[in-house]
Homo-oligomer: A and B are copies of this chain.
Amino acid sequence: MSRRAAYDRLERLFARLSHVEQALGMLHWDMATMMPPGGAASRAEQLATLKALHHEMLTGREVRDLIEAAEGEDLDPWQRANLREIRRDWLHASAVPARLVEDLSRACSASEMIWRKARAEADFAAVAGPLAEVLRLTREVAAIKSQALGIAPYDALLDQYEPGGRAAAIDAIFDDLGAFLPGFLQKVLERQTPAPAGPRGPFPVERQKALGLRMMEVLGFEFEHGRLDVSQHPFCGGTPDDLRITTRYDEQDFMSSLMGVLHETGHALYERGLPAAWRHQPVGRARGMSLHESQSLLMEMQACRSREFLSFAAPVMAETFETGGGAGWDAEILYAANVRVDPGYIRIEADEVTYPAHVILRYRLEKALVAGDLQVADIPAAWNGQLRELLGLVPPDDRQGCLQDIHWFDGAIGYFPTYTLGAMTAAQLFDAAARAVPEMGAAIAAGDFRPLLSWLRAEVHGRASSLTIDELLTHATGRPLDAAVFKDHLRRRYLS
């Protein structure tokens, strides 16, 4: 017997689990990008079966004993951190019976497919039943995990996406931000002058795609290890060696697709930068969803919606669309469009000042749904009431209201707050990178992302899940998450 016999067996088991997870990732990507509608029912069975097998393997009789035995073995720091993450995975999984895992997977697949149609037809009633079933099973999971982990039901869901995340801490941050934003937004809107005329479409899809591919390359995306496709809701899927990002195109507005592509590229660069030596172990995974979102928002909001990037990008855009340049392609005009604040209905189209309002809305509603204080049938009214309160707007229909996001319909409840935590983390990391790498801004203005990417590889990507979020942020920026940096960023960008 080696000195690490139990630990080594766990590593082998978790490598196998990782291969199943990766297979699931590819099947999910295919479902959103390639699958014809008639494949939905059998795909749901495939996903449910693989998830159930995964669950059975992860909760097998011997896993608890192996974890206990490995605790006493001679492990290096990464192995020790891996064991911590293994225990975390096991705790989450072993709390929930296989039957429930399988039912929830099927319910999510069914609900997601119906949501696609319901969204297109602005017909919330069509998907209310399937969503209620997802919620019912999710609340069952929350109750069981709450008991097993000794935390509140909503926290038990949140913890799946944000290790160690707790609603009490988020409440404090969101209350602070909620108090800051309305006054700030008003000031910004008062100062904002009419937008100068930007470039005019139509922008053919093929050229938009060419521009997206070119900019992905500028940021450091490796096409040997990934591709760009189309889906209704853009995402970054696949695996670190085979990254599948998606976008959607609007012929009248190339910037929204491009910024989406840069956003997903940020996610992809994080996955790609995870340490290859730990590729198939829990410690080698990304450190939770707020950090993941910080990587996409750092690229999109911090690095690319900047004067530096747009001064590099403007002539490339003009060339791609073969307009021969002209005033609309002026970097300053593109910048003005990119930092324009315009309260609207759609979260993924929101500017960075009003985006947190969309997240706070969803956070409040999903907490109420999990607590049983809000019923599915009442979501549209609650949604519209919240949006009126936060942004003074009421969506004209549910397509532009509570049907716009895939998350709840796909079972991702407890996920939304990580977007705004991610935005704050992005500001803090970008600020630290700018201090640590003084040439970074000039490099971005020259279309060279290597200085920024090198810093991120060393400080964030390469650490994977070896540290807690607070530890990682303290290493990289000198302190845990601090809302002040985000607020400073907003003040600098929108009021100076």
Which A residues form the contact surface with B (CB < 8 A)?
16, 19-20, 22-23, 26-27, 30, 34-39, 41-43, 45-46, 48-50, 53, 222-227, 238-242, 279-280
Cβ B30 vs Cβ A42 within 8 A:
no
Name A19's contact: one of B26, B38, B49, B280 (CB within 8 Å). B49
Cβ A223 vs Cβ B23 within 8 A:
no
A-B contact pairs, 7 of them (CB 8 A): A19-B42, A19-B50, A23-B50, A27-B27, A36-B223, A38-B226, A39-B239
Q: Which residues of B contact A23 (CB under 8 A)?
A: 23, 27, 46, 49-50
Cβ A227 vs Cβ B19 within 8 A:
no
Chain B minimum-CB-distance residue to A50? B23
Q: Which residues of B contact A241 (CB under 8 A)?
A: 38-39, 41-42
Q: Which residues of B contact A46 (CB under 8 A)?
A: 19-20, 22-23, 26
Chain B proximity of A108: nearest CB distance (Å):
16
Chain B minimum-CB-distance residue to A23? B46
Once the chains are docked, how many angstroms separate the CA of A371 from the CA of B181? 77
Chain B proximity of A30: nearest CB distance (Å):
6
Q: Which residues of B contact A37 (CB under 8 A)?
A: 224
Chain B proximity of A40: nearest CB distance (Å):
8
Q: Which residues of B contact A238 (CB under 8 A)?
A: 39
Q: Which residues of B contact A222 (CB under 8 A)?
A: 38
Name A30's contact: one of B26, B226, B280 (CB within 8 Å). B26
Give the number of copies in the complex: 2
Cβ B227 vs Cβ A42 within 8 A:
no
Given contacts A23-B23, A23-B27, A43-B242, contact A224 B49 (CB under 8 A): no
Cβ B242 vs Cβ A49 within 8 A:
no
Name A36's contact: one of B35, B43, B227, B240 (CB within 8 Å). B227
Once the chains are docked, how many angstroms separate the CA of A35 from the CA of B224? 9
Chain B proximity of A204: nearest CB distance (Å):
14
Given contacts A20-B49, A49-B20, contact A36 B226 (CB under 8 A): yes
Q: Which residues of B contact A38 (CB under 8 A)?
A: 222, 224-226, 241-242
Q: Which residues of B contact A227 (CB under 8 A)?
A: 34, 36
Chain B proximity of A103: nearest CB distance (Å):
15
Chain B proximity of A485: nearest CB distance (Å):
36
Chain B minimum-CB-distance residue to A272? B38
Chain B minimum-CB-distance residue to A242? B39
Chain B proximity of A312: nearest CB distance (Å):
26
Q: Which residues of B contact A239 (CB under 8 A)?
A: 39, 42
Q: Which residues of B contact A36 (CB under 8 A)?
A: 223-227, 242
Given contacts A27-B26, A30-B26, A30-B30, contact A19 B35 (CB under 8 A): no
Once the chains are docked, how many angstroms separate the CA of A16 from the CA of B51? 12
Once the chains are docked, how many angstroms separate the CA of A35 from the CA of B226? 8
Chain B proximity of A287: nearest CB distance (Å):
21
Once the chains are docked, how many angstroms separate the CA of A306 from the CA of B260? 51
Cβ A16 vs Cβ B224 within 8 A:
no
Cβ A19 vs Cβ B45 within 8 A:
yes
Chain B proximity of A453: nearest CB distance (Å):
18
Output the residue of A19, A22, A50 with the most chain B CB within 10 A: A19
Q: Which residues of B contact A30 (CB under 8 A)?
A: 26, 30
Chain B proximity of A118: nearest CB distance (Å):
18
Chain B proximity of A42: nearest CB distance (Å):
5
Once the chains are docked, how many angstroms separate the CA of A37 from the CA of B240? 13
Q: Which residues of B contact A279 (CB under 8 A)?
A: 42
Once the chains are docked, how many angstroms separate the CA of A223 from the CA of B36? 7
Chain B minimum-CB-distance residue to A37? B224
Once the chains are docked, how many angstroms separate the CA of A223 from the CA of B227? 24
Once the chains are docked, how many angstroms separate the CA of A185 from the CA of B361? 77
Q: Which residues of B contact A16 (CB under 8 A)?
A: 49
Output the residue of A20, A27, A45, A238 with the most chain B CB within 10 A: A45
Cβ B20 vs Cβ A50 within 8 A:
yes
Chain B minimum-CB-distance residue to A227? B36
Q: Which residues of B contact A19 (CB under 8 A)?
A: 42, 45-46, 48-50
Once the chains are docked, how many angstroms separate the CA of A190 from the CA of B375? 81
Once the chains are docked, how many angstroms separate the CA of A91 from the CA of B289? 46
Chain B minimum-CB-distance residue to A21? B46
Once the chains are docked, how many angstroms separate the CA of A43 from the CA of B227? 15
Chain B proximity of A102: nearest CB distance (Å):
10
Once the chains are docked, how many angstroms separate the CA of A2 from the CA of B50? 29
13 other contacts beyond A16-B49, A23-B27, A27-B27, with CB at 8 A cut-off?
A19-B42, A19-B45, A19-B50, A26-B26, A26-B27, A26-B46, A34-B34, A35-B242, A36-B226, A38-B241, A39-B239, A42-B240, A53-B53
